[in-house]
Chains A and B, each alone.
Chain A
Amino acid sequence: MGSSHSVFSEQELNDYQDLTYFTKKEILHVFKRYKDLYEDSADENTKKTSSLNKDKILKLPELKVNPFSDRIVKVFSSSGDGNMTFEDFLDMMSVFSDGAPKNVKVEYAFRIYDFDEDDMISDQDLKEVVDRLTGEQKLSKDEMQQLIDNILEEADLDDDDSLSFAEFEHVISKAPDFINSFRIRL
């Protein structure tokens, strides 16, 4: 831990502490996990500034089994292609941590589930979500359609066959288990 501390200047650590939901110690811990993903012996400063390839990030145990891992990585990647710098990684872990308030998590959850990135969760997006959730077995076409219809019936209030952020937030805020499940601890 001590060596990692010298990689970051005091200013940087303060900034990170102010702008994320982590304490300084936690930030250093996150950096340690990030470094371990590199699998090579580049020095720490390089690791701090350079961008890590998407494939390597997806090897993180917490993300490996997650069916939405590629979306998560894409949303938080500043270059938009899934490669993450340390700051992106830190941002991601901060949002998934216990300290992040619910509204922040809801916003990011919306972005993750919005596969076509049009700011609405359309029925295509929902189909994709369900597909990923069922794993190897798939629901039949009729069943899928019925499920989507049920969802839209419950949540879609302006009848445009897709969920806007307001509708999404309205539903998800009522779900007590959301905060517990939308969390990754490093």
Chain B
Amino acid sequence: MSRDPRGDPSWRRQDEAVEMSQINPGYLDDSIGRDPNHQVINMDGRIPLDRRYSDEGTGSGHSWARYGSARDAAELISELPSRQLDRLVSDTGKSIRARRKSQKTALHGSLRGFPHTHRPTNDLTNSMARNEELMDELDGDIRTNEVLRGMSSHHLTDKRQIKHDVSEKRKERTLSRKKHHEKLGTWKHMKYRVGMTWIHFKNNLKEFGYSLELWKSLMKKVEGHFGTGVTSYFLFLKWIFLLNIPVFILTFGFVVLPQILFRYNQPATTVTNSTNTNATSYHVSFSGEELLTGGGWFNDTELYYGYYTNLKVAVPLSNSIKYDMNISKSYKKNYVEGSSTTSFYNVTRVLCGWDYNITSKQASDLKHKSFYNEMKEYLAGKGKKTKEKELSDSCKWFFIRVLTNLIVLGMIGGAGYLIYYILDKNLSESDVHIIGELTMPLVISSIHLVFPFIFARIGSLENYEKPKHELYIGMFRTMLLKGALLGILVSYWFRRLPGSVYCWETKVGNELYRLVLIDFIFILGATFFLEFIHKVMANYCCTEKLKEPEFDIGRNTLDLIYSQALCWFGTFYSPLLSVMMIVKLFILFYVKVVSCLQNCRPSSKAWRASRTHTIFLGFLFFFFLLTTVAVAVSIITIKTNVGTYYMRIVMVGHKEMVTLLRHQLTMEGKDKAYLLRKLQKVRSKKKEKLVQLGQGPGRILSGTAGLREPPEQGGKRIFTRKLAETASASMENLAANGNGTPRSRRHQKK
């Protein structure tokens, strides 16, 4: 082991060089930095022993106070391979920022010192003035700011002084440069301008974000009372809430809006005269039952996929992009940082032991107590650490654990079978219509409520060494349960439904809506019972046995993850589900915060927020992948009625065509009737006239003689036209021959 040589005190006396690899690789000894001329690592990687202890002992004569040595040490530290990894982890990938960061650490190395004895500012100003990059006409200001910001050796007042002095010097430089007619390239100007606009943009964005910080005061309250653990749950909730908003915007924009626009542009006839049951029928009564079952009226609205045409890949895509960024950042941070070979348990507990967020006396007392207890336990336990575990003991525990795991798997299997049985039996057989449809969600939610507690109980029986392991195993089992049930549901839907129901996507959407709703109700109910009633009981009736409840971070977060997974899956079949999710999360936040502040007490156990945060993100991501895969599978393998919409459009179009043609036909018929009447009138009038004027019927006959000819071309239209022409011609004749009265009569008739 790397520490073996060091454990033996006599070793120190030996005049032996130390293997660099035996010390933590990448660590550089202080003493190396003290001598600027000394090469960092000798050829064979050994540090002569006399160098190592040259400045041992006294604090005040310490060479850290010397400017040069601190600078070298800091510079060297920044070049270490492990620091490169650090930089890699914290890098956001933007090239400007990346460049700046590397420059910053280099600058840091050369300018940073941290004796906090108050050094005059001139020193620093002069050394900064010597640095070319800081004196750069365009970027220098920004760079100086960044360097100064990070310096811990000076107070803000001094920093301001330095900043002004440095900028004075910079101005002098620029002037002298301009005097000598040196010009800066336009490229540099452009880069500078781009950089400045970017910084301004970022600042504005931060200002904007600050002013509309959601739920800030409430979260601060929770933080003050409960510390980082519980806060992480609420942060997670807020993050998911914000994640759903762009989803909603996208779905609304691309899918719902065109549909609404289309509907409003439809001619009025189709809406009112429609006899087709699939078309919009606003007449179905909107009762409370339907709100619950999501059926009926909702069926015909935008709520269901059946209305929509193309797959909006945009939604899962945007989700996954945003999500990947977050999870990879968090994972890298925690994996890289958490996976050290040596355990720093003691140091971390002591030096990072205090949560600076705490503001309430109660929480701080609790923190003190928990720290004390933990240290006591740990120190007592350390003595026993070396005791060898007997073989029989470990065998026994091994078998017990196998048994419990089998029991857990059996329980999950049983639950799955139950769900399958219910689905199969076709729920709508029950007497009361609502209950039939709701059976499945109710059963699922009850299982989700009860089983995790059973799992936790089983976990405590298994006697894990570290409570951390118990927690993780419990969470894993719960997730397995939720995933399994969801999987069974999904596979059932995909296998059975497409054949049996006409528009099965709508049915799936239906089911999901119910699931989400019942899930929400159960969460609210659980909050009420587990926290409020618990507290009431603890305060008023069973004061000895029960204490006030603690906020169960794990269970609550897993519930959130499950809800979000449902929402993701459902958004594909019923896009407005994301709206539901947003509303649900909003209400949930307030309910949980109020319940937490009123009913719960701070936990005495430490909660490793960042590590578990990565795990939760991992779960979320896993579910997201699962839902995406499921949806993809459904698209590919099942003959979806993607054409439903098209069919509907075509159907509607056909109907319209038919109506139009019918209309035309009737119009044509009316035309014909009108003209025939006209003709008859004309004839009868002519007859009268002839009789009056004594003219033979021949003239009229000759007038209408043309009609006897069979039409050579054209057909009906030309026939009617000819009819009209002859009628009007004969009328004119009559008018020419006749006197005023017939004309006036004619006019009237016209």
A residues whose Cβ falls under 8 Å from a Cβ of B: 15-21, 23-26, 61-62, 64-68, 75-76, 78, 80, 85, 87-88, 90-91, 95-96, 101-104, 107-109, 111, 113, 116-120, 122, 126, 129-130, 133-137, 139, 143, 146-147, 150-151, 154-155, 157-160, 164-166, 168-178, 180-185
Tell me whether B375 and A134 are in contact (CB under 8 A): yes
Look across to chain B and name the residue whose beta carbon is closest to the beta carbon of A109.
B351
A175 with B220, Cβ < 8 A, contacts A19-B149, A78-B157, A180-B609 known:
no
Chain B contact-residue range equals 35 or more
- What is the distance, in angstroms, from B20's C-beta to the closest C-beta of chain A? 12
Tell me whether B159 and A65 are in contact (CB under 8 A): no
In the complex, chain B residues 100-115 whose Cβ is within 8 Å of any chain A Cβ: 114-115
A119 with B372, Cβ < 8 A, contacts A166-B30, A176-B337, A178-B352 known:
no
A133 with B610, Cβ < 8 A, contacts A19-B148, A19-B156 known:
no
- A172 to B610, alpha carbons, bound, how many Å? 14
Tell me whether A87 and B156 are in contact (CB under 8 A): yes
Tell me whether B359 and A62 are in contact (CB under 8 A): yes
A154 with B145, Cβ < 8 A, contacts A76-B155, A171-B351, A183-B356 known:
no
- A168 to B27, alpha carbons, bound, how many Å? 12
Confirm or deny: B284 has a beta carbon within 8 angstroms of a beta carbon on chain A.
no
B residues whose Cβ falls under 8 Å from a Cβ of A: 6, 12, 23-24, 27-31, 52, 56-57, 59-60, 62, 64-65, 73, 77, 86, 90, 114-116, 118, 145, 148-150, 152, 155-160, 163, 203, 206-207, 210-211, 220, 223-224, 228, 333-334, 337-338, 340, 342-348, 350-361, 363-365, 368-369, 371-372, 375-376, 379, 382, 608-611
A23 with B220, Cβ < 8 A, contacts A96-B356, A151-B347, A164-B30 known:
no
- What is the distance, in angstroms, from A72's C-beta to the closest C-beta of chain B? 9
Tell me whether A135 and B152 are in contact (CB under 8 A): no
Tell me whether A180 and B610 are in contact (CB under 8 A): yes
Tell me whether A172 and B351 are in contact (CB under 8 A): yes
Tell me whether A133 and B52 are in contact (CB under 8 A): no
- A154 to B351, alpha carbons, bound, how many Å? 13
> 19 new A-B pairs (CB below 8 Å) besides A87-B156, A139-B375?
A20-B156, A23-B206, A67-B368, A68-B354, A78-B158, A88-B157, A101-B150, A118-B60, A119-B64, A126-B350, A134-B372, A135-B368, A154-B342, A159-B6, A170-B27, A171-B344, A176-B610, A177-B228, A177-B610
Tell me whether B27 and A25 are in contact (CB under 8 A): no
Residue contacts A-B, CB under 8 angstroms, 24 given: A16-B156, A17-B203, A20-B149, A24-B207, A26-B210, A62-B356, A85-B157, A91-B155, A118-B60, A120-B62, A130-B350, A133-B372, A134-B375, A139-B372, A139-B375, A158-B52, A164-B30, A166-B30, A166-B73, A174-B338, A174-B344, A177-B352, A177-B609, A183-B356
- What is the distance, in angstroms, from A145's C-beta to the closest C-beta of chain B? 10
Tell me whether B347 and A155 are in contact (CB under 8 A): yes
Tell me whether A118 and B353 are in contact (CB under 8 A): no
Tell me whether B156 and A143 are in contact (CB under 8 A): no
Tell me whether A147 and B155 are in contact (CB under 8 A): no
Chain B residues with CB below 8 A from A19, complex form: 145, 148-149, 156, 159-160, 163
Q: Which 8 A-B pairs have the closest CB atoms?
A: A135-B368, A118-B59, A65-B364, A91-B156, A107-B152, A176-B610, A78-B155, A18-B145
- What is the distance, in angstroms, from A77's C-beta to the closest C-beta of chain B? 8
Chain B residues with CB below 8 A from A75, complex form: 116
Chain A residues with CB below 8 A from B361, complex form: 65
- A168 to B6, alpha carbons, bound, how many Å? 19
- What is the distance, in angstroms, from A41's C-beta to the closest C-beta of chain B? 26
- What is the distance, in angstroms, from B368's C-beta to the closest C-beta of chain A? 3
Task: Output the residue of B156, B338, B369 with the most chain A CB within 10 A.
Answer: B156
Chain A residues with CB below 8 A from B360, complex form: 65
Task: Output the residue of B24, B60, B337, B363 with the most chain A CB within 10 A.
Answer: B337
CB < 8 Å neighbour of A181 from B157, B228, B365: B228
Tell me whether A154 and B345 are in contact (CB under 8 A): yes
Chain B residues with CB below 8 A from A160, complex form: 56-57
